[in-house]
Amino acid sequence: MPHPGTVFAAVFVALYVAHSVGDHWVQTSAQSAAKGQPGWAGRLACGRHVLCLTITKGLALAPVVWVLDLPVTARGLVLGLGIDAAAHYWADRRTTLRRLAAWCRKSEFYSLGTPAHADHPVTARGKHAPTLGTGAYALDQSWHLLWLGVASLVVAAV
C-alpha cells in the first residue's frame, strides 16, 4: 500500500494539472466575463464554471487513482472535491477575494497591472496596456492552490 504522502502528492499533481486546464481551457469566455457579476447571472455563471472545473478535476484524477492503484475512498473524493469547489466558487465571485485582499492589506498588489494601480502598464501612447500579469490573478491562483492542497490532503486521508 502506498504511503499517504505518496497518495497526497499524486492527487495534488493531478488536481493541479486539471485546475490549470479547467481554469484556462475549459472555462468559457462567457463564464469568465459573467462569474463576478452581481445577482443570479453572476452566481449561475460562476456555478457553471465551477461545475465544469470540478468535472475536469474528477476526469483527470480518475486515471491517476486507477493506474497507480491509490487507496482513496469515494467519501474522500467527494469531500475533497467539494471543499475545493466551494473555495473556488467563493474566490471566483471576485468581490470576496478583493475584500480578503483588502483585509490582508493587499489592495495595492490586487490592483497591480490594472488601470486602478498607479504604476499600471501603458502603451507607447500612454493608454492602459492590458496584461494577464495582474495582482488579482496571482492572488486568485494562489488561493486556488491553497485549496487544492487542502483537497488533496482530504482525498488522501479520508
- In contact, 15 and 57? CB cutoff 8 Å: yes
pLDDT tens-place string over residues 75-107: 999 999 999 999 999 999 989 999 998 999 988
4-21 vs 135-157: helix crossing angle, rounded to 10:
140
> What is the signed CA dihedral for 129, 133, 136, 142, rounded to 10 degrees?
170
Q: Tell me what pLDDT residue 135 has.
A: 79
What pTM was computed for the model? 0.86
In 3D space, the residue among 145, 9, 26, 27 whose CA is nearest the CA of residue 64 turns out to be 9
- Regions of the chain short of the pLDDT cut 70: 113-123, 128-132
- In contact, 158 and 4? CB cutoff 8 Å: no
Q: Which residues of 96-134 are buried (b: 16+ CB within 10 A; e: fewer)?
A: ebbeebeeeebbebbbbbbeebeebeeeeeeeeeeeeeb
* CA–CA gap between residue 123 and residue 72 (Å, rounded): 51
DSSP 28: -
